[in-house]
């Protein structure tokens, strides 16, 4: 996930100012972080809901990119000079934008929402650490490496039933592989964003618009469609939620939370996403909550929480 640089707040003019002003910004930060968690968990649940209908993964990508582009276009008429010729921006758009979305929606056609929560946001601390070591040469501290052990164990809890076919349903292995590939793509994108240090608002606009320009002609001319197989209410739900929620609102709220709380505390709260997605899938999508899945949710969320804590000197 993107983590912009934070600026230190101005020093209070008196002790009285500290006691009266400090709680409000902190509360705003926690509310922003909680709203981000809800939107990201909802992204997994709404995507899985669309995946269980006649919509193809291509349809949901088109609905998301089309809606986001229409909303962002008025704010993108005067992008900085050279934006559309920047190869690094195109690399980010085609990886963290288009490729990530195609893999996510294809994976959630085949795998439960709880698997999406574990294999995407749950795996991010593990994968980002590995990609940062490989791409940036940033060797992780021992404390963070140890915190990644529960994540690896949680992965095994999800993989074992899929490999052995012990969950009593069709195999989700292909869907799990697609979701894990999406998570790896996002981890590479996150590390490249940190390396190249682009502004978050510029990225949000360019990634959506550039992905839409590349994808829409291919989708309209060549890709299979299932738009006529679902009611209009489902199309509106997917378009509005996917195009506005995780694409725009979650980005703004996440940046606000990081600015107020810092990257570590915000990252620890984001560790709630797998739990919320996994538990929400039971009543909303009628998905089973097996012992293996509960163990995976607990282990991955615990590992993500520990990995996001400040590293001791």
Which residue carries 């869907």 as its tokens?
175
Q: What is the mean pLDDT of residues 242-266?
A: 85
Q: Which tokens belong to 90?
A: 């195109």
Q: Which tokens belong to 222?
A: 């060549």
Q: Which of 161-175, 241-255, 263-277 has the lowest mean pLDDT?
A: 161-175
Give the pLDDT confidence score for residue 13 in this predicted structure. Answer: 42
Contact 132, 138 (CB under 8 A): yes
Give the pLDDT confidence score for residue 215 in this predicted structure. Answer: 97
Above 90 in pLDDT, residue 184? yes
**100-107 and 23-51 helices, crossing angle to 10°:** 60
pLDDT tier, 3 (very low <50, low <70, confident <90, very high otherwise): very low
Q: Where would I find the H helices in 223-270?
A: 232-244, 250-261, 263-270
Q: Which of 48-62, 89-103, 279-293 has the lowest mean pLDDT?
A: 279-293
By 3-state DSSP, what share of the chain in percent is helix, strand and coil, each rounded to 5?
75, 0, 25
Return d(Cα 255, Cα 29) in angstroms, integer: 10
Return the percentage of the chain with pLDDT > 90, whole number. 45
The CA distances from residue 305 to 129, 209, 299, in Å, are 14, 33, 10
pTM for the whole thing?
0.83
Average pLDDT, rounded, for the chain: 84
Contact 185, 95 (CB under 8 A): yes
Q: Which tokens belong to 58?
A: 């291509």
Above 60 in pLDDT, residue 2? no
Give the pLDDT confidence score for residue 74 in this predicted structure. Answer: 95
pLDDT tier, 312 (very low <50, low <70, confident <90, very high otherwise): low
Return d(Cα 68, Cα 75) in angstroms, integer: 11
List pLDDT tens digits, range 127-166: 888 888 888 888 877 777 887 888 888 878 877 776 655 5
Give the pLDDT confidence score for residue 6 in this predicted structure. Answer: 39
Return d(Cα 247, Cα 224) in angstroms, integer: 24
Q: Where are the domains of the chain?
A: 27-307
Above 60 in pLDDT, residue 18? no
Distant-in-sequence, close-in-space partners of 107: CB < 8 Å, separation ≥ 6: 116, 119, 175, 176, 177, 178, 179, 181, 182
Above 90 in pLDDT, residue 98? yes
Above 60 in pLDDT, residue 190? yes
List pLDDT tens digits, range 213-230: 999 999 999 999 999 999
């Amino acid at each position: 996930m993107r983590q912009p640089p934070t600026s230190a707040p101005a020093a209070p003019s008196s002790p009285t100012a500290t006691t009266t002003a400090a709680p409000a910004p902190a509360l705003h930060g926690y509310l922003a972080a909680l709203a981000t968690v809800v939107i990201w968990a909802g992204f997994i649940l709404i995507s899985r809901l669309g995946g269980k209908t006649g919509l193809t993964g291509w349809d949901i990508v088109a609905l998301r990119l089309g809606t986001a582009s229409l909303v962002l276009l008025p704010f993108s008429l005067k992008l900085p000079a050279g934006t559309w010729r920047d190869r690094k921006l195109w690399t980010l758009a085609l990886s963290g934008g288009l490729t990530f979305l195609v893999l996510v929606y294809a994976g959630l056609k085949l795998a439960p929402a709880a698997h999406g929560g574990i294999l995407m946001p749950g795996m991010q601390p593990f994968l980002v650490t590995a990609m940062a070591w490989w791409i940036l040469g940033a060797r992780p501290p021992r404390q963070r490496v140890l915190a990644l052990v529960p994540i690896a164990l949680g992965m095994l809890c999800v993989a074992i039933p899929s490999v052995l076919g012990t969950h009593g349903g069709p195999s989700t292995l292909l869907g799990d592989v697609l979701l894990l590939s999406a998570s790896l793509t996002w981890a590479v994108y996150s590390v490249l964003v940190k390396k190249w240090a682009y502004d978050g608002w510029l990225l949000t606009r360019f990634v959506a618009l550039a992905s839409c320009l590349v994808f829409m002609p291919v989708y309209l001319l060549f890709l299979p469609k299932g738009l006529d197989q679902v009611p209009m209410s489902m199309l509106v739900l997917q378009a509005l939620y996917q195009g506005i929620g995780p694409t725009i609102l979650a980005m703004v709220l996440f940046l606000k939370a990081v600015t107020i709380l810092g990257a570590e505390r915000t990252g620890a709260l984001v560790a709630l996403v797998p739990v919320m997605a996994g538990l929400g899938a039971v009543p909303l999508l009628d998905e089973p909550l097996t012992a293996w899945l509960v163990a995976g949710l607990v282990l991955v969320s615990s590992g993500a929480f520990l990995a996001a804590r400040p590293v001791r000197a």
